[in-house]
Amino acid sequence: MDHVTIYIILAGALGLFMAWGIGANDVANAMGTAIGSKALTLKQAVIIAAIFEFSGAFLAGGQVTSTIRKEIIDSSVFADSPELLIFGMLASLTAAGIWLLIASRAGWPVSTTHTIVGAIVGFAVVGLGMEAVHWGKVGNIVMSWIISPIMSGTLAYFLFRSVQKLILNTENPLANAKKYVPIYIFATGFMIALVTIFKGLKHIGLEFTPAQSYGIAVLVGLGITGCGMFYISRLNFDPADDKDFHFANVEKIFSVLMVVTACAIAFAHGSNDVANAVGPMAAVISIANEGMVTQKSAMPAWILLVGGIGIVFGLATYGKKVIATVGSNITELTPSRGFACLLAASTTVVVASSTGLPISTTHTLVGAVLGVGLARGIGALNLSVVGTIFMSWVITLPAGALLSIFFFFFFKGIFS
């Protein structure tokens, strides 16, 4: 078997492994709030992830993929030795996949973006030297890791405060929930439709004027709101349910909203984080086929398919521990709290991925959960769990880099 075939098979297998890790860790923490608040079962979350993660990756994942592949390292440095970039990308996928397996086993919600960026920087520095890395771009990405949890945490805090003010802390919370939840559903549908139109549909050759885009987004938002209101009208409200928990009937309405926002975060996550698996994979396949480092290469549909399958399989088989950490262990979540987390996080992610910035969905989501916890007071947070999560974030970057360096020399030794 020639080297080109071996590289393509390895890229496919390791890309699938990395995508599985994203599902077990990243998608698990994206869905953790919905499952932790009892709005969705694991089976329902897997079905939603299968549909919306893949849609996000396919329709809106292109810009971030190019950031992962081209902007972190100077690919022109590899012009004379394209095989070094192949070894490096294979090493990055292996390193990231292994670290995600370790973290998922421990129940740590770490960042796949952190992991893959650390891995790519690690092999580039040892393989070619400091000048191979675009340090300015890396600096921008690191800044986004700090900004994204602050942005989503602030947004989640004010979203949940609005829920408290308009619904929970009123004389008739059930009537107010029926009145205001459709507005929250519309906001979610409108936001996801808009980002899909503005940056997603270009990949399949559809472009609209700004006026058309906003018009379509309003119609989609209204359509989703109509579906939500239909489901809310079919709910059974029993005053006896409110005896044990004052807001039991209100939370039934928010459970409908949680399903909508879970779809939104799955779409947003797919658009941002599938790139972490398919970007390095596509680079290896492109170089192996062309025999040189190309600045632009088409993304074959089967690569996105491998990414989508791996993600859903990872969530279904190994996501439970990370789901427990995010959904139950940071702060107690109900559908109304979980909604604020998911809408804040998905808004932050789609805004960032529309600018091509590969932010960490994990940081964004954990930031949103912290924001909702703080809206109820610092005592609502489990600070020891928060401390463990922050520690795992700090370790992730060097772990990705060191594992990548080891596997870079491993692949280089085998194939050179």
Domain count, the chain: 1
Find out whether 83 and 10 touch, Cβ atoms under 8 Å.
Answer: no
Token reading at 179? 């009145």
Give residue 70's pLDDT band: very low, low, confident or very high (50, 70, 90): low
Rounded CA separation 273/359 (Å): 9
Range of the domain at 312: 3-415
pLDDT of amino acid 402: 95
Give residue 100's pLDDT band: very low, low, confident or very high (50, 70, 90): very high
Q: What share of the chain is helix, strand, coil (3-state, %, to 5)?
A: 85, 0, 15
Across 103-123, average pLDDT: 87
Across 107-119, average pLDDT: 85
pLDDT of amino acid 342: 79
**CA dist list (Å): 206 to 189, 202, 214:** 20, 5, 15
- Checking if the pLDDT of 67 tops 80, the result is no
| Helix ranges, 291-325 (H) | 301-318, 320-324
Rounded CA separation 325/171 (Å): 34
pLDDT of amino acid 297: 56
pTM: 0.82
- Checking if the pLDDT of 202 tops 70, the result is no
End-to-end alpha carbon distance in the chain: 16
Rounded CA separation 24/12 (Å): 18
Q: What percentage of the chain carries pLDDT values higher than 70?
A: 89
Instruction: Give the tens place of pLDDT for each residue, 2-28.
Output: 888 899 999 999 999 999 999 888 887
Instruction: Give the tens place of pLDDT for each residue, 291-337.
Output: 776 655 566 777 877 888 888 888 888 888 888 787 777 877 888 88
**CA dist list (Å): 260 to 67, 268, 344, 401:** 29, 12, 13, 37
Across 78-82, average pLDDT: 78
